[in-house]
Amino acid sequence: MPLHLGPFVRWRSGLVLAWICLFSSGFTFTGGEHAATVTHPLPAAFSDLLPHFLVEPDDVYIVKNKPVTLTCRSTPATQIYFKCNGEWVHQDQHLIERDVDPATGLPVMQVKIDISRQQVEKIFGLDDYWCQCVAWSTTGTQKSQKAYVRIAYLRKNFEEEPLGKEVALDQEVLLRCHPPEGVPPAEVEWQRNEELIDPKTDPNFFITVDHNLIIKQARLADTGNYTCVAKNIVARRKSSSATVIVYVNGGWSTWATWSACSAVCGRGWQKRSRSCTNPTPLNGGTSCEGQSVQKSACTATCPVDGGWSEWSKWSPCGADCTMWRSRECTQPTPSTGGKECQGLDLQSLNCTSEQCPQTASGAEDVALYVGIVAVALCLTLLLIVLVLVYRRKKEGLDADVADSSILTTGFQPMGIKPTKPGVWPDLTSTTTSYQGTLRSRHEVTGKFSVSNGPLLEPLPNGSHTLHNGKLPSDPNDFMNRLSSQTYFKTLPRDNVNTSYGTFNFLGGRLTLPNTGISLLIPPEAIPRGKIYEIYLTIQKKEDMRLPLAGCQTLLSPVVSCGPPGVMLTRPVILSMDHCSDACLENWTIRLKKQSYEGMWEDVLQLGEEVVSEPYYCQLEAETCRVFTEQLGRFALVGESLSMAASKRFKLLLFAPAYCSTLEYNIRVYCMDDTQDLLKEVMQMERQLGGRLIDEPHVLLFKDSYHNLRLSIHDMPQAHWRSKLLAGYQEIPFYHIWSGSQRTLNCTFTLERQSMSTCDLTCTLCVWQVEGEGQSFTLDFNISKDIRPLDSDFLLMDNCTPALAGPSAFQIPYLIRQKICSSLDTPCPNGADWRLLAQRLKLDRHMSFFASKASPTSVILDLWETQHFHSGNLNQLAAVMAEIGKQEGLPNYMRPLPQ
């Protein structure tokens, strides 16, 4: 059915005309809550103009409880009213001002209203609160733009705060910041150390659209605390500070020039060094990897002292009745700082009367003869005096030199009677006897002394009887004389850490019980006819102060053997424990020796040994064997090449043997895995009254710069509690890695609830920060522990500190000589010392053995050091049988036929 809209349109048009008429005539219309009053009609000239706005209301924010004012200004206008959220604002709330524009003559009307916080909050759940004004004229109406009224705020918590970072130099850094929610949205600025960052003045900084800070290239000056600051008209908020550390990894400087050769004459060493200063590590940057010092062999030209040539022939007799002869300093000519020849280069002599051209008077001849007789008498008297002095000295020396056969009085009897030439005696026989003396009574060089070295003075009477290498005289006298030497003033005066003995060419052995330290003096190492007083001692690391730099660490005890400067004809073997993981790929390990001046010098780098040098080293899993032809003070120092390098540490747990209080202490020691430190801790705890409550544990400590943490867990809370405030204890990395501190320990103080509580169960956790760790379960009774874990449990070495002669060796002396003479000669089929080294798994040192006059003897020396406590001669005999030398072995030692 069609709609007819004509009457409706006519009615609406009529209504609009009626409104216009009403406003034009000044009629007041009131309806509902709102009213519009027209009291100022426009002049007829402007009656056809629509109103336009000179000022429209703007968006505003209510801060706290302060109301805001909206303003609207229009011309020409008869009336202006505000409409908020679709409803008219009551006319009483309008503040109206009227004026006339002087330029146009048009009336200007301005209206203001105030909006309170309560009015805005009533519109909860709707859109933002808005207002607009409507202006009337006789021609029509005009609406202004909408002005939004919002309540301003700023939350306290940042949605994302910046996080601290450690970055390398020149690396880009991104610090994120998401400011708190707020109206109006917060503006963001960044501060470094409370100072504003302005990207305009420092282009190295850049702030992104989403408020993040970018440091394009980190500089050292950029290290600091960074804060994100958010602010709007309500408040200002600061984020937590993010610490940015710009570190610098170390870099090597260029190598310095080589130093002068250490030797004044002959073969020596020269060094060059570089420093980790290009750049220097800063703010935790990594140190340089590699060697800071390089050492190279050098040969210095020796000074040549001048020597006289032969005298020339005498010249003819001259007119003065004198003849001459001369010589020159040319054999050799002094060079490179050598001394000039001492003495006359020209000599004169009076002629005889027959040769003299002018015959001398009789008085002159008498004077000449008298002078010659006087000179002859003086020479005769001088010769007699020299002979007497020499004989007296010789008699004094003979009285002081002892018959060295006394050294054999304490030895095992030893005598070998070969059944057939080429047939080997029984290697395990001990019923042999040695015949003869070690040296003649009349050898004046039997007592060792060197005037230019810091050596020991001879013993008082030079004649002692040794029983298994021990001196029957007072040991304190020996230690006092030993400590008085100028070079070893720091030598300890106790007998616990020092062994000593007197040795001759038969050799012997010195051992420091329970330390893993020993010195083997092979036969023939001491020259025949000489007797040496030799000592072996361990030094405290705190007294030595080894110069360690970078990643270097002490891997062994500091051991002294001496006296230094004694003459040895073949190397002795010094054995000592070490605590490295024995993986040379991760280490640079050097043998250091202290010089006469007290300076520590590198004498050997493992893996780069030179067989012609007086030092050589074999590194085993837990022991280091040092071959040396010079006695002195030694230490093993390692420098890690990567973070995979590890040191072996031993953890020992002690507690009081008796506890009469509620408090109970558990002491945890962390130390290098060497026997000497184990002995020291055991002795110290014995004095403190402690007992070992668990077996020792071995821990690998890596060069990762992370500290060691220890904590105790899983205690029965009903009976025990920990008195520590922190959850763990921490030992700094460098305290452990340097090795300069012998024993590090921490104490866990526990408290039991009752004196009747005696059972303790807990778990000890030990780990390196950001690394792997270990945990150990402890379960024991604090009042009584029946487990065999006393301080004697780990100290089983009760060997004699000093053994001299055959008793110090597994292999009898004469059998050893026969083995050497048989295997030293190379065999075409290889059945010689090379095969012996292979069978004993010592073939890595072939070049070292080959450099010696008797390779077999050095191999047997090494076998003696490795098998002194557990040596099995039957095993060695089996090796000899494999080589093909079984024809001389006893029947019971020969391998059974297949």
Say which residue the tokens 């780069």 belong to: 608
Q: Give the phi and the psi of residue 346 in degrees, each rounded to 5.
A: -140, 130
Q: Is 110 helix (H, G, I), strand (E, B) or coil?
A: strand
Q: What is the dihedral of CA 363, 368, 370, 375, to 10 degrees?
A: 170
Q: Which of 796, 581, 595, 570 is nearest to 678 (CA)?
A: 796
Per-residue tokens: 255: 């190598």
Cβ within 8 Å of residue 362, ≥6 positions away: none
Per-residue tokens: 197: 């960052």
Cβ within 8 Å of residue 754, ≥6 positions away: 662, 719
Q: Is 500 helix (H, G, I), strand (E, B) or coil?
A: strand
Architecture of domain 646-781: Sandwich (2.60)
Residue type for 394, please?
A: K
Beta partners for 716? none
Number of residues in the chain: 898
Cβ within 8 Å of residue 697, ≥6 positions away: 650, 651, 774, 776
On whether the CB atoms of residues 810 and 868 are closer than 8 A, the answer is yes
Q: What is the dihedral of CA 222, 227, 231, 235, to 10 degrees?
A: -150
On whether the CB atoms of residues 539 and 598 are closer than 8 A, the answer is no
Separation CA 567–CA 525 (nearest Å): 9
Q: Which of 362, 429, 439 is nearest to 406 (CA)?
A: 439
Q: Give the phi and the psi of residue 877 in degrees, each rounded to 5.
A: -65, -35
* Burial of 314 from C-beta contacts in 10 A (0-12 / 13-18 / 19+): middle
Do 52-153 and 498-640 share a fold?
A: no
The CA distances from residue 343 to 306, 310, 314, 336, in Å, are 11, 13, 18, 21
* Burial of 419 from C-beta contacts in 10 A (0-12 / 13-18 / 19+): exposed
The pLDDT, as a whole number, for residue 299 is: 78
On whether the CB atoms of residues 778 and 763 are closer than 8 A, the answer is yes
Architecture of domain 498-640: Sandwich (2.60)
* Burial of 580 from C-beta contacts in 10 A (0-12 / 13-18 / 19+): buried
Q: What is the DSSP letter of 91?
A: G
Residue type for 362, please?
A: G
The pLDDT, as a whole number, for residue 430 is: 34
Separation CA 623–CA 631 (nearest Å): 19
The pLDDT, as a whole number, for residue 36 is: 39
Cβ within 8 Å of residue 280, ≥6 positions away: 248, 250
Separation CA 538–CA 517 (nearest Å): 8
Buried b (16+ CB within 10 A) or exposed e, 645-663: bbbbbbbbbbbbbeeeeee
The pLDDT, as a whole number, for residue 410 is: 31
On whether the CB atoms of residues 310 and 607 are closer than 8 A, the answer is no
Q: Which of 293, 820, 846 is nearest to 618 (CA)?
A: 846
Separation CA 553–CA 738 (nearest Å): 5
Separation CA 20–CA 17 (nearest Å): 5
Buried b (16+ CB within 10 A) or exposed e, 672-690: bbbbbbbbbbbeebeeeeb
Kindly report the number of other CB atoms within 10 A of residue 546's CB atom: 17
CATH number of 52-153: 2.60.40.10
Residue type for 435, please?
A: Q
Per-residue tokens: 365: 């001849």
CA angle 832-837-840, nearest 5°?
Answer: 125
Kindly report the number of other CB atoms within 10 A of residue 592's CB atom: 21
On whether the CB atoms of residues 670 and 759 are closer than 8 A, the answer is no
Separation CA 736–CA 719 (nearest Å): 34
The pLDDT, as a whole number, for residue 16 is: 36
For domain 810-893, the CATH superfamily is Death Domain, Fas (1.10.533.10)
Please spell the DSSP secondary structure of 517-575, one letter per residue.
EEEEE-TTSSPTT-BEEEEEEEE-HHHH-----TTEEE-S-EEEEE-TT---SS-EEEE
Separation CA 173–CA 167 (nearest Å): 7
Kindly report the number of other CB atoms within 10 A of residue 855's CB atom: 23
Per-residue tokens: 846: 């072939």
The pLDDT, as a whole number, for residue 878 is: 82
Separation CA 497–CA 81 (nearest Å): 108
Q: Which of 169, 159, 170, 175 is nearest to 208 (CA)?
A: 175
Per-residue tokens: 62: 């209510």
Q: Is 789 helix (H, G, I), strand (E, B) or coil?
A: coil
User: Beta strands of 76-119 (E only): which ranges?
Assistant: 79-84, 87-88, 95-100, 107-115
Q: Where are the domains of the chain?
A: 52-153, 154-247, 498-640, 646-781, 810-893
CA angle 631-637-641, nearest 5°?
Answer: 150
How many helices (H) and strands (E) the chain has is answered by 12, 50
Kindly report the number of other CB atoms within 10 A of residue 121's CB atom: 11
Separation CA 511–CA 559 (nearest Å): 12
Assigned CATH topology for domain 154-247: Immunoglobulin-like (2.60.40)
Residues of the chain with pLDDT under 50: 1-39, 359-361, 396-473, 483-493, 786-792, 887-893, 895-898
